[in-house]
Amino acid sequence: MSRTIHLSDHLVEDAKPYALAMNCSIAEQIEYWARLGKVAEEHPDLPVQMLQDLLCGLKEVKSGNLKLYQFGCSP
């Protein structure tokens, strides 16, 4: 479900270069920041880089971009 919300011009302008660098829309970039902030508040003991990696992994899972990992040596 999408909703219309009002954001400050400052936040939108701040998100533009990040969105461009991450190849996403400004709205997607702000959503990512919101998710990262939420997860960081829920898990203050974890480093931000770890949280970013976890969010990236979840995005890969949702997109179906997975390969089966084989543990051990292959015959």
Arithmetic mean of pLDDT, 40-67: 90
Structure tokens at 67: 């390969």
The reply to whether the predicted model has a pTM over 0.85 is no
Tell the residue number behind the tokens 């011009």, with chain if given: 9
25: left (phi over 0), alpha (psi -120 to 50) or beta: beta
Q: Angle at Cα 17 formed by Cα 57 and Cα 8, nearest 5°?
A: 100
What gap in Å lies between CA 30 and CA 16, rounded to an integer?
10
pLDDT interval class at 72 (50, 70, 90): confident
Q: Note whether 51 and 36 are within 8 A (CB).
A: yes
Q: Note the pLDDT of residue 57.
A: 87
Arithmetic mean of pLDDT, 6-18: 97
Kind plus residue range of the DSSP H or E element containing 38: helix 26-42
